Amino acid sequence: MAQTLTAPKVKVDRKWQLFIDGKFVDGASERTLVNPANGKPLTTVAEASKTQVEEAIRAARKAFDHGPWPRMTALERSQFLNKIADAIDAHAEELAELETLNGGKPLRETTYDIADAAYCFRYYAGLITKPSGQSIDVPAPSVTTVVREPIGVCGQIVPWNYPLLMAAWKLAPALAAGNTCVLKPSEFTPLTAIRLAELLHDLKLPEGVVNIVLGDGPTVGQPIAESTIVDKIAFTGSVNTGKRVATSALTNLKKVTLELGGKSPMVVFPDFDLDIAVDYALFAIYCNAGQVCSAGSRMIVEQSIYDQFVKKMAARAKKIRVGPGLEAETEMGPLVSESQLKRVLEYIEIGKKEGAKLVTGGDQPKGEKYGSGYYVNPTIFSDVKPDMRVVQEEIFGPVVVVQKFSTEEEAIELANNSVFGLAGAVFTNDITRAHRVVKQLRAGITWVNAYHNTYTECPWGGYKQSGWGRELGTFGLEAYTEVKQININLDPQAVGWFEA
């Protein structure tokens, strides 16, 4: 029998408020959240009005212009970020369960996500105290240095697939650099962000440094992107919304970081162990039910092993244990919302109408334990053509297409035949081929004989319509700074440029 948390330890039937200027306040309206595992109401959260969003922005502006946070030493901010990490670790079990109840993913995934979020704060706590800037050798008597300073007020909009982790990816480097923030979590998955606000409040973070406002894009996200007193916007989400965010940001030419969609390829050559390749393929697409921007949603397989690869992948995909995230045996949970369920099912119908062969899946699991939850069985399409919508468009669900190639050149062409360029992988035992092919993939995150292993220390972002800029690593910190040169004349004398 599966070990199931029939009575969750975490309390969700409570008040979930906005966090503005260091205080918890009621919203102008409320939203009922639904548990994706059963389709039943989970809890009710406050949502902000446009006026409240503007209040949060002004609070962040005041905290940056006049508050203590940007004026603290790097060591002081570092110590505070370490306290945030400690608080996340101390509440890790609670936060993981909240994430599972709110977003649907299995506990084994959310447990990892929460640990990763804590590490992100620790990483930037360490990085901010390390040497930075430049000293330039210029003619005497001048002394010139180049320094990095915080940008100012940062608007941050995060998605629903990794709610707390994506918040950490944005808050940690921004706070480390000395910025103040207005964070908008997804309207579908705000619970761990609110819980984080409570932890920050308990730690006595200075007022206005972090503000968390809940609600949808038009009411909450757009005012943040359009505000002329917000200095930077960082957004993770869909390409279409990202384009609107970038357009809105033009109001004051604010700095913009966009982490958008993907349709990432996994290229498999015949010299690689087939069973291991299939194992990675399952992990690449079905982790978090395919709701990962870097998901390996396009398998590109050499023709001599194509049929065998499809057969083996389908056989294993059918055995994936789909179910509620709180069940210990669950390997793949539900999709996040009813709207996402409809989107994925619509794409499956599109694939069938386009002539792709549905190898397995394409339907919802049946049984009492699924209730009215938002589940889709692991789905595989074969015999696809490059121009099919299921090949070109991001589905963001447990749906993979398997393409066939005959030459290395064709594999590269198929891999790069996308408007996206977030991630990609090559599987081969030929190290020369591996280097040759992976360097030709037009993607920002690449793997050889691996998939999904990513590190806080390394830059995250993509080519083409997968976004602008990079998060994480030193690049993520630099994205929250302005560069300033300082010239000091140690021996001021009259210039004498003009005779009179």
Mind telling me the catalytic residues? 259, 293
Contact 184, 163 (CB under 8 A): no
Closest CA to 327 of 38, 14, 32: 38
Q: Report the alpha-carbon distance of residue 453 to residue 455 in Å, rounded.
A: 7
Torsions phi, psi for 481 (to 5 deg) = -130, 155
Query: Bridge partners of 425?
Result: 266, 447
Q: Report the alpha-carbon distance of residue 159 to residue 258 in Å, rounded.
A: 12
Sheet holding 23-25, edge to edge: 23-25, 18-20, 210-212, 180-184, 153-157, 232-236, 255-259, 467-468
Closest CA to 57 of 288, 224, 240, 284: 224
Q: Report the alpha-carbon distance of residue 145 to residue 149 in Å, rounded.
A: 13
Q: How far is CA 447 from CA 50, 242, 313, 408, 467, in A?
A: 43, 26, 20, 17, 19
CA dihedral 438, 444, 446, 452 (to 10 degrees): -160
Closest CA to 393 of 429, 461, 431, 343: 343
CA dihedral 234, 236, 239, 245 (to 10 degrees): -30
Q: Report the alpha-carbon distance of residue 80 to residue 70 in Å, rounded.
A: 13
Q: Report the alpha-carbon distance of residue 355 to residue 396 in Å, rounded.
A: 20
Closest CA to 82 of 213, 179, 176, 11: 176
Cβ burial, residue 165 (10 Å; 0-12/13-18/19+)? buried
Tokens of 87: 């608080």
Residues 6+ apart with CB under 8 A from 431: none
Residue 33 host element (H or E): strand 29-35
Q: Report the alpha-carbon distance of residue 477 to residue 470 in Å, rounded.
A: 10
What does the DSSP 8-state code read for residue 460?
B
